[in-house]
Chain A
Amino acid sequence: MPRYAFRLNGRPVSAESWDAAQPLLYVLRNTFGLHGPKFGCGLGQCGACTVLVDGRATRSCTTPVSRAEGRAVTTLEGLGTPEQPSTLQAAFIAEQAAQCGYCTNGMIMTATSLLARNPRPTLEQVKEGLSGNLCRCGTHTRILSAVMRASGA
């Protein structure tokens, strides 16, 4: 079975897949037990599966595992823990910016990528940056507050 090597949350790993087209999402969740990224649509429409690939927010539900070969993949678990959260995770916790939390992974991963490129975004820029991420509980107000808090605004 073909094997794909990449860096995952800072460590070198490799994963077998019978299908080179298998989305990275399934490999992360089922091979590595990383459940931060969520299956939402499988169509790249909602953002719940977002991970960082070489630092950029990427939809893992539509990214073949073969495309992760040689790259650095970061999941929500790789950013921090409840005990030592990243700045953005800490801001989400401080703002209590979740209800069901199913979209939260995508929000944090997308905003992490956004803040890396633009550390001091305006509210409008954050809204635009998260425009491809859906939240069904209507937690938008808090999510925006959390990202702005992390940016120091």
Chain B
Amino acid sequence: MDALTLLSRRDVLKAGGGFVVAFAFGAALPRVAFAQAPTLSGAPPTGKPIDNSEVDSFIVMHADGTATVYMGKVDVGTGLRTAVAQLVAEELGMSAERITVIDGDTGICPDQGGTGGSTGLTRGGTEVRQAAATAHQMLLALGAARLNRPVVELMATDGEVRPIAGGAGVGFGALVGGRRFEMKVDPKAPLRPAAGYRVVGTPVPRPDVADKCTGRLTYVTDLTVPNMLHARVIRPPAVGATLTSVDEGSLRGIPDVRVVRVQSFLAVVSKDEWAAVRAAAALKATWTEARTLPGSSGLEQWTRTGAVERDQEVLNRGDVTAAIARASTRLSATYFWPYQGHASLGPSCAVADVRADGSSTIWSAAQGGPPLRATLAKVFGLPVEKMRIVFLEGSGSYGTNGSDHVAADAVLLSKTIGQPVRVQWMRADEHAWDPKGPQQLLELHAGLDAGGRIVAWDTQMWLSTNAPGTRALLAADAAGLTQEHGNGAGAMTQNGDPPYQAENVRVTAHWLKEAPLQMSNLRAPGKIANVFAVEGFTDELAAAAGVDPLAFRLSRLTDPRAIEVLTRTAEAFGWQARPSPNPRARQGSLLVGQGIAYMRYKQAENYVAMAMEVAVNPTTGVIAVRRVTCAHDCGIIVNPDGLRNQIEGCIVQTLSRALHEEVTFDRSRVTSVDWVGYPILTFPEAPAVRVVMINRPELPILGAGEAATAPVAAALANAVFDATGVRLRTVPFTPVRVKAALTQPRPAAATA
């Protein structure tokens, strides 16, 4: 017990700079007050460890029995903070409502790497949980000493340690409050048995929702720091253009505005945000011409014929070539997915304070704070140990949107002018310059034997370059700074093979030498298009065999969890067992159909099946999605309402991507730079969504921020086929494209 050293709540709060202020005004507002009073230097504050091996890095128990959890993973509107609070609450034996979670402050939180790939709970959450399990053991030991009873006679529950047999206990606050645990995280500390869970598995409300609904939450866009200037960056009119001249006289009449130029990096700064906005629009600058892009109109052809850097054998089982030659039925089809943006509703924003002593603080909504810190420090020549990135929520990012770039803009400006700078992009900046999810071209070939078995499956995918290295920052390139020029978009090749019994399977990725635009990870990288192709093509096989699409899938699956999500989806949806297309599709002027799709995320994680009902208007080409049913199995469910929210969001957002979204660009620039040029799904289009969640408390946690996106486009295309007999293989399914396809129906699949 004496191993615990004194650490007052005030010290902990002090570790967060302005937290002291927060404490004075009320503990309910730590994040806000912290954000508003950045008195800290860039160096990690003393008083609390951030090493991942220490319990104290993750958990601080206060004298009043409340706790603060520090995690490196960030909550970008997914409910991660709440789910992690539940994991900790369960292990400690207290209520989740008495736990505050601080996320993504590199100065006070352990480094758990960037957030993405649905690893927030899986990796981040389980690491915090193990710290809590270790702390649980310490709480019992402290209770044993205080109550003078052996540990085996005690339990930790409801925020206190008390005798199992009954009688008075002692609260966590009294046992630990204000002092450190001073223990290493014990990887063997036992976890509570799932059978006894009281907090995990319950729909604990997210505290941020009430703040968001009342204007109380401080987003990164809402932060002001003393002496802060507002900036807008003027990006070149063409990708790769350089700045030749600037006419500062064009800003006459706009008060208190200053032009900052570092080679081709051009910005305006002002105390007055509107002055900066006006100045950015008014500033006359001349740039060189640049015509380096392939243009989006011929992108499928560009992808098919582009120079290939290397071929990657993703999977090769059996002898596909020989098996296709022997097959009694052979089918081929080509699928294409366009460039799409993260299209965050609010443009990216960051605040940077780079001091003369080399210390720096950056407030950012970026999902990858720790890697971003390393990149910013290196590129801008700042000491990484004196750089602190403080996460504040931004508009949803769904991967690496413009947040890294805008942080670089802010750092360059603050370093250049020696004042804190807030940069927010304008709408066109975000649409044009956020790194994007790249195009994907997939060609599939399959062979069936006389009995309808899949004897051969061949997926060939063409992907933009996966150049290694860190993604180049726009500001650094413009300012002529040395940096890496990596260009990757994440794990693009997963789910390229069918999840069904097939004797010979081959998946090959052809990596092109080039990429049309800068890329990044966009929610479920690669998987949505891969499943669109694989599950669309599976539907084509079922149609060619004249078999009900659900039965076709079920008869080729053996994994009971796969079978369960499909059957539960079909039951909840009211699936009509029959081959597609729908013989009775016509309802008045509309054509109505059903579609289904299944996948296991990354072929290793969540099981998801999805069915949809669509009504297609053949006159207008408009697809109305009437209802969507999804069964989802991600192992144990931590927060069922949070999970449902994520699944619903996955479905609706991906419907938007499949129905509407395509980044357009000409030889010089992105041309889809607002919500008219890049429309997303609107409320009148929102379908009824029904989610069936399968809980498996005995199984490990899996993330759920991405998996349910993957089958959406496939289920949609399959439903359109059922309704119309026309197979859509190119996204987005715009009315013009649908109408054209209906007017000139192509064969269901090329048969050889």
Contact = CB atoms under 8 A, between A and B. Distances in A.
A138 interface: yes
Given A96-B205, A96-B206, A134 B682 contact: yes
B213 A104 contact: yes
B274 A19 contact: yes
Given A23-B274, A39-B221, A137 B211 contact: no
Given A19-B274, A76-B215, A101-B77, A141 B684 contact: no
B218 interface: yes
A6 interface: no
Interface in A27-69: 29-30, 34-36, 38-43, 45-46, 48
Contacts of A102: 219, 344-346, 394-396
A85 interface: yes
Contacts of B344: 102, 136
A124 to B, nearest CB: 8
Contacts, number: 184
A76 B219 CA distance: 15
Interface in A95-109: 96-105, 108
Contacts of B213: 76, 82, 85, 89, 92-93, 97-98, 101, 104, 108
Contact of A105 (B78, B210, B215, B427): B215
Given A22-B274, A100-B77, A131 B683 contact: yes
B275 interface: yes
Nearest to B628: A141
A40 B214 CA distance: 18
Given A99-B78, A99-B649, A85 B214 contact: yes
B165 interface: no
Contact of A101 (B208, B278, B424, B684): B208
A18 B255 contact: yes
A84 B688 CA distance: 31
Interface in B165-224: 205-206, 208-219, 221-222
B641 to A, nearest CB: 6
B207 to A, nearest CB: 9
Interface stretch (B115-123, B356-364, B486-494, B650-658): B650-658
A138 B653 contact: yes
A133 B274 CA distance: 24
Nearest to A104: B212
A103 B344 CA distance: 10
Range class of the B interface residue count: 35 or more
Contacts of B345: 40, 46, 48, 100, 102-103, 134-136
A149 interface: no
A9 B645 CA distance: 32
Contacts of A101: 77, 208-209, 212-213, 217, 393
A18 B212 contact: no
Interface in B665-681: 674-676, 680-681
A137 B401 CA distance: 14
B51 interface: no
A148 interface: no
Contact of B426 (A42, A48, A89, A93): A42
Contacts of A7: none
Nearest to A102: B395
A43 B209 contact: no
A111 to B, nearest CB: 11
B608 to A, nearest CB: 15
A97 to B, nearest CB: 8
Contacts of B652: 138-141
26 contacts: A35-B222, A36-B214, A39-B347, A39-B424, A40-B345, A41-B427, A41-B675, A45-B675, A75-B215, A77-B215, A77-B216, A81-B216, A92-B213, A96-B641, A100-B76, A101-B393, A127-B684, A134-B675, A136-B343, A136-B345, A136-B396, A136-B680, A137-B396, A138-B653, A141-B686, A142-B645
Interface of A: 17-19, 22-23, 26, 29-30, 34-36, 38-43, 45-46, 48, 75-77, 79-82, 85, 89, 92-93, 96-105, 108, 126-128, 130-131, 133-144
